[in-house]
Structure 1
Amino acid sequence: MYSIRTYNAIAQRGLDVFKEDYEINRSDYPDAILLRSYNLHDEEIPSSVQAIARAGAGVNNIPIERLTEDGVVVFNTPGANANAVKELLLMSLIATSRHLVNAVNWTKTLIGEGEAIPKLVEAGKKQFVGTEISGKKLGVIGVGQIGVLVANDAQGLGMEVMAYDPFISVNAAWQLSRNVKRAENIEEVFQTCDYITIHVPLTDKTNGMLNIETFNIMKDNVYIFNFSRGELVNEDDLEIALQERKIAGYVTDFPTERILTMKNALVLPHLGASTTEAEENCAYMAAKQIKDYLETGNIQNSVNLPNLSMPYFGNKRLTIIHKNIPNMVGQITAYLANHGMNIANMVNGSRGSIAYTMIDIDEDISIQVQNELKNQILQIHGVIKVRVI
């Protein structure tokens, strides 16, 4: 029996993954945690926890470094909410170009004007003359799960699309429309595009990547869309660029006190993944990853351990999380050989300073032998956690 603890409201489609041999929120010592945006940094996480899955992409609410040291696998769900973010972005792109929000707000001021409303509308609508996106040029910076969808659908709406991503995956490259032009460098996007949308992770290198220097080489009256992370844009420089009309509009899903006061900034209340479908997809994907790890040791979409899988045929499987240092695998396999255990299959991978090894053994060993095996391997310098499945 496995025990799962949940935080936040988890979509039922995700909970339905845990049926036989699972209990939810019935134990103080869960095997895994499933959550959305709940902040775990100040929580005491039981030593029983083997895995934590975030039903979403961002993992800033999870103490990854501490969990890695304890041998806890952390998962996220990249791509599960991609369509929701794409639709919100394309809607925002069109709404901004047509000054939709300002137009709606102005129209509401006509309440009480009665029969005069039609004439007032005809006279006032001139201030909301917009532009069509068809034929305009969209620059997509970062062609991952979301960027690919945005680029393809914008091209389908008649836009000329240019994409930039020096680290594009093979899978993303296959999905990207051949009509999307590849930018040789990011400056080409800045210099030529009427609209720019950014879809990159927040790192030391990308923090504040949109700033006064990049704004200065952009076309005048460019529209910028940031549905990735607020910190990608330097707020001081953004305010100046908006005031000087270098940037015609800035749309973001990450409100701050300062951006809320900026003219020509459209700020949404973090709605990117706020659809029923996205919440269900994220919950289902996160639950499946937890279930697969607990039952087979396979890892997919981990943010702190290598993604690693091996067909599971029901043999006894040994999983070891250990430091990525020389001779770790050699010591483990030597121990098994010395105790007469034959290795049927094995796989190993690393991610930075951490590594993960799975070994299938032919013998059907008893619980007592399993415990002795775990305890002995834990004595090897550099081993963090051992499981027998």
Structure 2
Amino acid sequence: MKILVTELMWEDGIDELKRKGYTVDYDMELSRKREELLSLLPEYDALIVRNETKVDTEFLEAAKKTQVIGRLGVGLDNIDLQGARERNIPVISARNANATSVAEYVMAAMLDASRPLSDADEDVRQGNWDRKFFTGYELNKRTLGLVGMGEISHRVAKRAKAFGMNVVGFDPFVAPFDHVVQETGIRQFEKLEDLLKASDFISVHVPLTKSTKHLINRDNFPLMKPHAYVINSARGGIIHEPDLVEAVKSKQLAGAYLDVLEKEPVEKDSPLAQVKSIRLSPHIAGLTIEAQSRTAMLIAEEVDSVLNGSQSLCRVN
């Protein structure tokens, strides 16, 4: 059987598939070569993608032999799940494989905001020694607001609590006795507005859907504390980016850490790139060596299971 990998996949997973006897064709840039990709699809029994490959109607119609699609990650907004279901093509995701890495990214963002060591290093190398300017603040006793309370938020909350932070959350789909609340002591809010008012840091952990698109926008930026930071490691489009730029410029909030954008990669003349207190990273929150290996191995194992007629615990459709 043949498997096509259209984006970055750690070698552990590719080697595992080959060890199991599959022919694996791997081109980490194939998602950006649409016509070539569509022409290749009819040959393959399984497809492995990330977030850049658009698995739409055109894609699914071309994938005539495909028995399973593996998603190297958990976001699914690039995949037509209904279309795959209608064609009886299981879609599997790397459930929780990168959750720890994303949680640590959120902690790194908060630590960078409170103690900007890279800025201090740059300033010292320019001959300065401004100890007062680089006096930071502690995370201890600060409030972290989690928008969405799934597995990643659970892990963020545990780490934030270890720093002595207060943790609050908003998620209309989480009940008071669910594990993320009971095991971490998160204080739940019934309204997003109340969380935004209470938080020193707001970290977004929801999927991109019709109801979450531009969830954070000009209507609720004024509710935030002027020293607050927004952190988005979920999906671009949840935060309305032009509104964010204006809010930071007008000092309605201190800044933001954006790992995901509506349009990736960011354009050089993007207003986001012109505001220093909006920190950008290239969609790497879940990309650590350990998470890459776990993700690749999980998808390799689950794709193999489906191709051999077994059910996958990671199936999402």
- Report the TM range for the smaller structure's normalisation: 0.7 to 0.9
Residues 90-141 of structure 1: per-residue CA shift (max 9 Å, x gap): 011011112333223323323xxxxxxxxx31xx232222211111111111
For residues 83 and 175 of structure 1, the distance between their equivalents in structure 2, rounded to whole angstroms, comes to 18
**1:117 aligned partner:** none
For residues 185 and 85 of structure 2, the distance between their equivalents in structure 1, rounded to whole angstroms, comes to 42
**Pairwise CA distance, 1:146:** 0.9
Residues 235 and 18 of structure 1, relative CA distance in 2, 3 Å threshold:
closer
**2:245 aligned partner:** 239
Note if contact 1:151-1:176 (Cα within 8 Å) is conserved in structure 2.
Answer: no
Note if contact 1:32-1:290 (Cα within 8 Å) is conserved in structure 2.
Answer: yes
Which residue, 104, 110, 121 being the options, matches 1:93? Answer: 110
Query: Residues 127-206 of structure 1: matches in 2 within 5 Å?
Result: 127-168=133-174, 173=179, 177-206=183-212
**2:30 aligned partner:** none
Q: Which letter does structure 2 place at the counterpart of 1:70?
A: R
For residues 131 and 267 of structure 1, the distance between their equivalents in structure 2, rounded to whole angstroms, comes to 22
Residues 7 and 237 of structure 1, relative CA distance in 2, 3 Å threshold:
closer
**Pairwise CA distance, 1:167:** 1.1
Note if contact 2:248-2:254 (Cα within 8 Å) is conserved in structure 1.
Answer: yes
**1:75 aligned partner:** 92
Which residue, 125, 133, 136 being the options, matches 2:131? Answer: 125
SS in 2 for 1:259: helix
SS in 2 for 1:84: helix
**Pairwise CA distance, 1:67:** 3.5
Query: Residues 235-274 of structure 1: matches in 2 within 5 Å?
Result: 235-254=241-260, 256=266, 257-274=270-287
SS in 2 for 1:10: coil
- Structure 1: gaps of 5 or more residues: 111-119, 306-389
**Pairwise CA distance, 1:240:** 2.0
For residues 90 and 82 of structure 2, the distance between their equivalents in structure 1, rounded to whole angstroms, comes to 11
Note if contact 1:151-1:163 (Cα within 8 Å) is conserved in structure 2.
Answer: no
Note if contact 1:80-1:282 (Cα within 8 Å) is conserved in structure 2.
Answer: yes
Residues 146-185 of structure 1: per-residue CA shift (max 9 Å, x gap): 1110011101111011122121379962685343222232
**1:10 aligned partner:** 9
Note if contact 1:3-1:22 (Cα within 8 Å) is conserved in structure 2.
Answer: no
RMSD: 2.6
Query: Residues 97-116 of structure 1: matches in 2 within 5 Å?
Result: 97-110=114-127
Which residue, 275, 285, 302 being the options, matches 2:315? Answer: 302
For residues 290 and 99 of structure 1, the distance between their equivalents in structure 2, rounded to whole angstroms, comes to 42
For residues 131 and 65 of structure 2, the distance between their equivalents in structure 1, rounded to whole angstroms, comes to 63
Residues 40 and 25 of structure 1, relative CA distance in 2, 3 Å threshold:
farther
Structure having the higher strand fraction is 1
**1:280 aligned partner:** 293
Paired residue total: 292
Residues 159-215 of structure 1: per-residue CA shift (max 9 Å, x gap): 011122121379962685343222232222111111111101111111111112211
Larger displacement relative to structure 2 (69-78 or 129-138): 69-78
TM-score, with structure 2 as normaliser: 0.82
Indicate yes or no: 2:36 matched with 1:36. Answer: no
For residues 68 and 253 of structure 2, the distance between their equivalents in structure 1, rounded to whole angstroms, comes to 44
For residues 20 and 112 of structure 2, the distance between their equivalents in structure 1, rounded to whole angstroms, comes to 49
For residues 136 and 21 of structure 1, the distance between their equivalents in structure 2, rounded to whole angstroms, comes to 50
Residues 208 and 8 of structure 1, relative CA distance in 2, 3 Å threshold:
closer
For residues 282 and 265 of structure 1, the distance between their equivalents in structure 2, rounded to whole angstroms, comes to 29
**2:35 aligned partner:** none
**2:29 aligned partner:** none
SS in 1 for 2:22: strand
Residues 16-47 of structure 1: per-residue CA shift (max 9 Å, x gap): 54367632237973321123345255767441
Higher Rg of the two aligned structures: 1
TM-score, with structure 1 as normaliser: 0.68
For residues 182 and 61 of structure 1, the distance between their equivalents in structure 2, rounded to whole angstroms, comes to 30
Note if contact 1:36-1:54 (Cα within 8 Å) is conserved in structure 2.
Answer: yes
Note if contact 2:203-2:230 (Cα within 8 Å) is conserved in structure 1.
Answer: yes
Higher RCO (CA 8 Å, separation ≥ 6 residues): 2
Q: Which letter does structure 2 place at the counterpart of 1:13?
A: D
SS in 2 for 1:232: coil
Residues 75 and 186 of structure 1, relative CA distance in 2, 3 Å threshold:
same
SS in 2 for 1:71: coil
- Structure 2: gaps of 5 or more residues: 26-39
**Pairwise CA distance, 1:218:** 2.0
Note if contact 1:148-1:176 (Cα within 8 Å) is conserved in structure 2.
Answer: no
For residues 139 and 202 of structure 2, the distance between their equivalents in structure 1, rounded to whole angstroms, comes to 12
Larger displacement relative to structure 2 (96-105 or 16-25): 16-25
Q: Which letter does structure 2 place at the counterpart of 1:105?
A: E
Q: Which letter does structure 2 place at the counterpart of 1:198?
A: V
Query: Equivalent pairs: percent with the same residue?
Result: 27
